[in-house]
């Protein structure tokens, strides 16, 4: 089933329709239900009646604002929408496996599913970040459009099929900030020797700018910044960055970033586990993921708008943009890094070509869409 297909009906409709189909094809009156029997609605379903339980591992700390709470809500929604037929129990990073071992846990069947950012798996294949975020890439609406209507989901399925898993969009941070720096960035030379936390293909861009990119999960970033293991850190944006407390050790906050125009989160599911689900439970999982994919970026935007004022007005954070020469060189290198992924194989080439074509069309249209509207609004209305 293609991603766009699950939008044609609500899950509740699917469940009701299934019951109606059964009733319509039966010529016999239903037998009375004995209280306390398995057919009694008040009796909890047994495993033999189709009860399933999934472990969801994540790359986030327990109840971590944004991605962590979104993962918990997704697990809870699937459980509730299925009326307990599919119970999803969340395990935060480190509870079952370390954060960056989530992919292998799902592939090997240690967990049935995971909640993560796909670009964490760049070591598995250099093209996987295209389904999450690449430098100089797509905005939230552009990314969703490519995945849902531009052939991205089919390519994603093909890529993940090589590992025995599949991915579903289940949230997005929106455009991310450039990061927290202990010293100012006034020129390209200021990147030389800089140790910065940053993931995905953007790490290679920073390396070519002269920095040393380091990837680490959320729970390790603040201690590394405090101890001097890293000099700067890119994470998400004002809402979660405020929660992380980066302002306590680094006052220079740069944005927007060049590296993540949007950052998609995924529900990663073991393929055999997915195929074992009946169609109505598959529809429930798809719909729960779609709901998260719509809700999560809205929450990031709303809460970050408020948090930015708190960082500046209450914590003395200095908000800055990178010099023009930094943006220009970062985008130039980004084009090189993204294009080089096409050399990894036929599927990599097709992913890059599909993404590139879609991005070009998006850039041609944006002056007449969101980008054009926002530019005109800003010129006309004082902030």
Q: What is the pLDDT of residues 282-298, one digit of tens each?
A: 999 999 999 999 999 99
The pLDDT of residue 8 is above 50 = no
Tokens of 135: 């430098």
Level-2 CATH architecture, domain 179-259+316-380: 3-Layer(aba) Sandwich (3.40)
- Give buried/exposed letters for 347-372 (b at 16+ CB in 10 A, else e): bbebbbebbeebbeebeeebeeeeee
Mean pLDDT of 127-136: 98
What is the reported pLDDT for 383?
61
179-259+316-380 matches 50-172+262-301 in CATH topology: yes
Nearest to 150 by CA among 372, 7, 310, 357: 357
pLDDT band at 382 (very low <50, low <70, confident <90, very high): confident
Q: Contacts for 15-23 with beta carbons within 8 Å, 24 or more apart?
A: 15/280, 18/280
DSSP 106-134: HHHTSSSEEEE-GGGGTTT-TTGGGGT--
**Per-residue pLDDT reduced to its tens digit, 190-212:** 999 999 999 999 999 999 999 99
pTM: 0.86
Domains of the chain, by residue range, sit at 50-172+262-301, 179-259+316-380
The closest alpha carbon to 250, from 226, 267, 227, 273, belongs to 226
Which numeric CATH code is attached to 50-172+262-301? 3.40.190.170
Burial class (CB in 10 A: 0-12, 13-18, 19+), 132: buried
Per-residue confidence band for 5, with pLDDT thresholds at 50, 70 and 90: very low
Cα dihedral: 17, 22, 26, 31 (round 10): -110
**Which of 257, 265, 314, 268 is closest to 110 using CA atoms?**
268
Q: For residue 20, give Cα distances in angstroms to 12, 30, 31, 286.
A: 12, 13, 17, 22
| Percent residues over pLDDT 90 in the chain | 86
């Amino acid at each position: 089933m293609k991603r766009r297909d699950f939008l044609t009906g609500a899950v509740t409709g699917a469940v009701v329709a299934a019951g109606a189909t059964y009733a319509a094809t039966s010529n016999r009156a239903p037998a009375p239900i004995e209280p306390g029997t398995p057919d009694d609605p008040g009796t909890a379903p047994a495993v033999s009646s189709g009860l399933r339980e999934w472990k969801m591992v994540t790359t986030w700390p327990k109840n971590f604002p944004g991605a962590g709470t979104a993962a918990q809500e997704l697990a809870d929604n699937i459980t509730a929408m299925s009326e307990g037929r599919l119970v999803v129990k969340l395990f935060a990073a480190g509870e079952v496996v370390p954060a960056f071992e989530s992919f292998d846990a799902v592939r090997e069947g240690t967990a049935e599913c995971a909640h993560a950012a796909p670009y964490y798996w760049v070591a598995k294949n250099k093209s996987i970040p295209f389904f999450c975020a690449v430098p100089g890439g797509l905005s939230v609406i552009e990314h969703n459009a490519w995945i849902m209507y531009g052939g991205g989901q089919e390519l994603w399925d093909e890529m993940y099929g090589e590992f025995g898993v599949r991915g579903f969009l289940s949230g997005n941070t929106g455009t991310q900030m450039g990061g927290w720096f202990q010293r100012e960035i006034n020129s390209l030379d200021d990147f030389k020797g800089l140790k910065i936390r940053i993931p995905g293909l953007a790490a290679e861009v920073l390396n070519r700018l002269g920095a040393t990119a380091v990837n680490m999960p959320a729970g390790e970033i603040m201690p590394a910044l405090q101890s001097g293991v890293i000099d700067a850190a890119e994470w998400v944006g004002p809402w979660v960055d405020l929660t992380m407390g980066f302002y306590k050790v680094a006052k220079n906050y740069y944005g927007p970033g060049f590296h993540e125009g949007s950052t998609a989160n995924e529900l990663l599911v073991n393929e055999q586990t997915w195929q074992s689900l009946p169609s109505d439970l598959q529809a429930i999982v798809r719909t729960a993921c779609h709901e998260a994919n719509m809700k999560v970026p809205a929450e990031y935007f709303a809460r970050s708008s408020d948090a930015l004022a708190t960082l500046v007005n209450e914590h003395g954070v200095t908000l800055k943009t990178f010099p023009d020469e930094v943006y220009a060189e970062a985008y130039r290198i980004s084009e090189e890094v993204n294009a080089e992924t096409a050399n990894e194989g036929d599927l990599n080439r097709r992913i890059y070509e599909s993404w590139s074509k879609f991005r070009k069309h998006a850039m041609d249209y944006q002056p007449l869409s969101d980008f054009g509207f926002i530019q005109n609004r800003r010129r006309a209305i004082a902030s």
